[in-house]
Structure 1
């Protein structure tokens, strides 16, 4: 019996080769078709897969849609946080969608990208909700294999993890450091799979981090991913995020991240602005 060949996604070669289709090309054509001027996006942007940040901030009049954002698939909202303007893109769920948007954000002036996504609890760090600063993510999705050779994990940029040590100590909501499982199929999280992930020391399951970190490594970008652990796989009473759908706590985590990266000069935030 002939042994089955590995699936095409892990047979890819030349990961360092440039892509023919570039994000700036997509943005250029979107601007042409929509009659948009070239406007730089905020240097700090946030991915908000659940959309709670965008909904709450727009309802409160604290965020407004940027009509110059040229992405075909999403809206970008601008808001003020800690005296800095940031951009927020809501409802980009899953690694493929998140990385599609992230590439366009970085091509549009973003220097630091922060993702805050809902996650399911694997290993208990307490009763949800709480946050996990994702140090690495198991690559059980497809996007990361287009950016990096096969391997088990995508890791956060080390300089950012080092910069964020102790950054959240004064917050009301706990922020743990841990590894997660990134999946493309949330409704295929079987009991055997969950047991295997817990045995590997993974603390939560989400849908974006492995792809985002692989892109960050391949492109030399600054990306920080947080899992907002809000549920225990859909048990009764799950998905409670806390005050204002978790927006208050999420903004506190985001603001602390930005402040520390700025203070220590760990990322590229502001550095390129000074060079322009």
Structure 2
């Protein structure tokens, strides 16, 4: 018998059994976290936000516009609640990268979330404008590992067509430009080589980020509504003024696109 440890094949594409349920699930994690921390069961807001950079969370908390939810049972994160025009949102900061973003997404939906928006900083590939601006991510190149645990098929993970159309229409009213297009999701930002960038450019990819492909694969398999935006803020550190987001570290602009997406989702429901 061949020893599997002698194989050169990557285990990333082995033994996935996509139709088989996971032994470990988010409900079990939340249940045990509540038990260990002696927390009451409380649903998160219908609309939740992933803020990988943490700038929006920090700005809202610093101005008193957001409050920490002491009943959130996530082991690795803090959930904050804030209101905009009478609607409550939940937001989790610093969930960077595909695996962490989906870990938190699973927990949020298990805790009562009905719609998830992710807004992440991104590096420009094919120019659409001078940074900063936003990309409504229609599809994301699956150059990461997490999406491959949820489904096998497809070079890209894609946004639901109906959700894309309604969110795209809603974003026409926001102040900062929002372009619909493709991104490249990578697990290794410091391995963005010229060869890899040229491949992405040849496919018309607008920006590189670290979460969207996994979130869209999760959304498709779990039948959950998720919308991802790339906040294009830099050219991968190649200019002196890279990574500038604008007023309040881009919070005002990010909240505009979040509200637009939430309004589109609520209108469709």
TM bucket (normalised to shorter chain) is: over 0.9
**Aligned match of 1:100:** 103
Matches within 5 A, 1:83-122: 83-122=86-125
**Aligned match of 2:27:** 24
Between the aligned partners of 2:102 and 2:46, the Cα distance in structure 1 is 17
2:21 is the alignment partner of 1:9: no
How far is 1:13 from its partner? 3.7
CA deviation string 1:2-43 (max 9, x = no partner): xx7542112244202100001010011110000001100101
**Aligned match of 1:243:** 247
Q: Residues 168 and 180 of structure 2 are in contact (CA less than 8 Å); yes or no, is this contact kept in structure 1?
A: no
After the TM superposition, list the runs of 4 or more consecutive aligned residues in structure 1 that deviate by more than 4 angstroms: none
How far is 1:187 from its partner? 0.2
| Structure 2, gaps ≥5 residues long | 1-6
Q: Which of 249, 253, 256 is matched with 2:257 structurally?
A: 253
**Aligned match of 2:61:** 58
Between the aligned partners of 2:257 and 2:243, the Cα distance in structure 1 is 19
**Aligned match of 2:140:** 137
May I ask how many residue pairs the two structures share in their alignment?
Answer: 262
Q: Which of 75, 78, 95 is matched with 2:78 structurally?
A: 75
Q: Residues 10 and 150 of structure 1 are in contact (CA less than 8 Å); yes or no, is this contact kept in structure 2?
A: no
Q: How high is the TM-score relative to the length of structure 1?
A: 0.93
Matches within 5 A, 1:82-231: 82-231=85-234
Q: How high is the TM-score relative to the length of structure 2?
A: 0.95
Between the aligned partners of 1:119 and 1:12, the Cα distance in structure 2 is 33
Q: Residues 114 and 223 of structure 1 are in contact (CA less than 8 Å); yes or no, is this contact kept in structure 2?
A: yes
| Structure 1, gaps ≥5 residues long | 266-276
Between the aligned partners of 2:258 and 2:16, the Cα distance in structure 1 is 36
Between the aligned partners of 1:151 and 1:224, the Cα distance in structure 2 is 19
How far is 1:264 from its partner? 2.6
